[in-house]
C-alpha cells in the first residue's frame, strides 16, 4: 500500500493544459470510476480547481500505480506522456500528505492564504466518498488535510488579510471599469460557492444592480435574495449581458456558457458606453476566449488573474506554516506505517489462537474430568501464555512501524509463521 499524488498546477502548467485536464463537477463520478478501474488503484480522489488538477490514489504497489495514474492523466488530456512528464509533479506517502496539507492551508495557492481551497479539498473528499472511491486511507488523509488547513490558519498569520481568487478578479475588473463598482450592473453566471462569494463581495462593494443566472432556478433564487438582485430566467442570456457592465462566470460547465455569437449579439444590443468586462473564474473556462476579439469587450480569466495575484508573505509565516505541515505529514506517515503492520500482527495473533485452541482440542480427552471452573482456569492459563509470548514481538513490531524497513520485518514474520493475509 502506498499513497501518491500526480498533478499539475498553476506553477507547472498553462491555463490551456489545465483546462484540458479539468474535471467538471458532473463528470466527477465517471472520472473516479475510470481511475478505480486501474489495476493497482485501491482508492482515488480528484482535486480539480481553477488552479490545479491532481489525482490522489492509494495503490497496491507504488511504481506500477504511479505509471498507471500518469498514463491516465496523459490520455485524459490527449497529451503524449513524455510531454506531460516535464509539467507534472508527483509525491508519495509523507510527501504526498505534506503537499495536500500545503494545498489545504493555502500555502500552495495562487493567492497565498486564500480559504476557498479548503472548501474545495473537503468537497473533493465528499465526492469521492459518495462514489465509494475514498474509504480508509484517503478518507483519513483528506480529513486530516481539512484539520491541518484550519490549524495553520489558527496558529499562523498566513490567512490574515488574505484575498481570494474572487477578490483578485474583481480588483482586475475595477482596473477596466473604475475603482467604484457602486453604480454598476453585474451579471452573475453561476450560483455555487464561488458565485456566493462573489455575491458577498458585490454587496460589500455596493453594486447598484445585480442579475443572477443559474441552470437551477432554486439556486438562482437563493443567491438573488442574498445579493438583493434579480433572477434571469433560464433561456437567452443576451439581454442580461447587454445590460451588464461586468459579467462574472463561475459555473462548473464543461463547455463555454458564453460563446462568441452570444456575446456578439449582446454587444449589438448594448446602449452603455462603458466596456463590457467578462470575468471568468471557472475551470474549464465559461467564456470563449474568442470573445476578447469583439469590440468593447474585455475578457479576464485565470491566466490574467495570475499576473495580479501577488501578495507578500514573510519568511517567518511560511516557516511556521511549513513546520505544522511537516509535523502533520510525519503523523500521517506513522499512521500509514502502523496500518501496514497491523494486518501482520492480527494474523500472528490469529495463528497463535488457532494453535492454542487446537492443542486444547487435542487434549480434550485428558481434560474430560475437569469441572467448568477448572476448564476456565486452563483457558485463562493458555491465553496468558500466548499473550506473554506475543507481547514483546508485537510491541517491537509496532515500534518498527516508525522506522525504515518496517515492512521487511513484517514480511519476515509472515514467512516465518506462514501467515495468510
8-state DSSP, 396: H
Which residue bears the cell 444590443?
269
Is the CB of residue 107 less than 8 Å from the CB of residue 321?
Answer: yes
Cell of 122: 473537503
What's the chain's length in residues? 421
Catalytic residue among 50, 121, 279, 305: 50
Is the CB of residue 254 less than 8 Å from the CB of residue 284?
Answer: yes
CA torsion sign for 253, 254, 259, 262 is: negative
CA dihedral 210, 216, 219, 223 (to 10 degrees): 0
Cell of 254: 464543461
Q: Map 323-360 to HEC letters.
A: HHHHHHHHHHHHHHHHHHHHHHHHHHHHHHHHHHHHHH
Which residue bears the cell 480539480?
48
Cell of 23: 474535471
Using alpha carbons, list the distances in angstroms from residue 333 to 93, 121, 320, 370: 6, 20, 20, 50
CA dihedral 4, 7, 11, 12 (to 10 degrees): 120
**142-148 LR contacts (CB < 8 Å, sep 24+):** 142/45, 142/56, 142/100, 144/97, 144/101, 144/328, 144/331, 144/332, 145/97, 145/100, 145/101, 145/103, 145/104, 145/121, 146/104, 146/118, 146/121, 146/122, 148/101, 148/104, 148/105, 148/324, 148/325, 148/328
**58 vs 92: CA distance, rounded Å:** 10
Is the CB of residue 394 less than 8 Å from the CB of residue 345?
Answer: yes
Residue 161 CA from chain centroid, whole number: 24
**196 vs 201: CA distance, rounded Å:** 9
Active-site residue flag, 249: no
- Closest CA relative to residue 352, chosen from 393, 412, 397: 393
**Which amino acids are annotated catalytic?**
50
Amino acid at each position: 500500500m502506498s499513497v501518491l499524488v500526480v498533478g499539475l498546477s498553476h506553477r507547472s502548467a498553462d491555463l490551456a493544459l489545465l483546462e484540458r485536464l479539468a474535471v467538471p463537477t458532473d463528470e466527477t463520478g465517471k472520472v473516479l470510476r475510470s481511475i478505480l478501474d486501474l489495476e493497482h488503484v485501491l482508492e482515488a480522489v480528484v482535486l480539480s480547481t481553477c488552479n490545479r488538477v491532481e489525482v490522489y490514489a492509494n495503490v497496491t504497489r507504488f511504481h506500477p500505480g504511479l505509471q498507471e495514474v500518469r498514463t491516465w492523466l496523459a490520455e485524459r488530456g490527449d497529451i503524449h506522456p513524455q510531454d506531460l512528464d516535464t509539467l507534472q509533479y508527483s509525491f508519495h506517502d509523507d510527501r504526498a500528505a505534506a503537499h495536500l496539507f500545503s494545498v489545504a492551508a493555502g500555502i500552495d495557492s495562487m493567492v497565498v492564504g486564500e480559504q476557498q481551497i479548503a472548501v474545495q479539498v473537503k468537497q473533493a473528499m465528499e465526492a469521492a466518498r459518495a462514489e465509494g472511491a475514498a474509504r480508509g486511507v484517503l478518507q483519513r488523509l483528506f480529513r486530516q488535510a481539512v484539520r491541518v488547513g484550519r490549524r495553520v490558519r489558527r496558529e499562523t498569520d498566513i490567512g490574515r488579510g488574505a484575498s481570494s481568487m474572487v477578490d483578485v478578479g474583481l480588483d482586475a475588473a475595477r482596473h477596466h471599469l473604475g475603482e467604484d463598482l457602486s453604480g454598476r450592473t453585474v451579471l452573475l453566471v453561476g450560483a455555487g460557492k464561488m458565485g456566493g462569494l462573489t455575491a458577498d463581495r458585490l454587496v460589500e462593494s455596493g453594486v447598484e444592480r445585480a442579475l443572477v443566472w443559474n441552470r437551477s432556478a432554486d439556486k438562482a433564487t437563493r443567491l438573488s435574495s442574498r445579493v438583493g438582485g434579480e433572477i434571469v430566467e433560464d433561456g437567452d442570456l443576451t439581454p442580461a449581458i447587454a445590460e451588464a457592465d461586468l459579467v462574472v462566470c463561475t459555473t462548473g460547465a464543461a463547455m463555454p456558457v458564453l460563446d462568441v455569437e452570444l456575446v456578439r449579439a449582446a454587444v449589438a444590443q448594448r446602449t452603455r458606453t462603458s466596456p463590457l468586462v467578462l470575468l471568468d473564474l471557472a475551470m474549464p473556462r465559461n467564456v470563449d476566449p474568442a470573445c476578447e476579439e469583439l469590440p468593447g469587450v474585455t475578457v479576464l480569466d485565470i491566466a490574467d488573474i495570475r499576473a495580479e495575484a501577488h501578495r507578500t508573505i514573510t519568511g517567518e509565516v511560511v516557516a511556521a506554516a511549513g513546520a505544522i505541515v511537516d509535523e502533520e505529514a510525519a503523523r500521517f506517515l506513522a499512521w500509514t506505517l502502523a496500518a501496514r503492520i497491523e494486518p501482520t500482527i492480527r494474523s500472528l495473533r490469529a495463528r497463535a489462537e488457532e494453535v492454542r485452541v487446537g492443542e486444547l482440542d487435542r487434549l480434550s480427552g485428558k481434560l474430560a474430568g475437569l469441572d467448568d471452573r477448572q476448564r476456565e482456569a486452563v483457558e485463562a492459563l493458555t491465553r496468558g501464555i500466548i499473550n506473554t509470548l506475543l507481547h514483546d514481538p508485537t510491541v517491537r513490531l509496532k515500534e518498527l512501524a516508525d522506522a525504515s524497513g518496517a515492512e521487511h520485518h513484517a514480511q519476515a514474520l509472515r514467512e516465518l509463521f506462514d501467515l495468510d493475509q
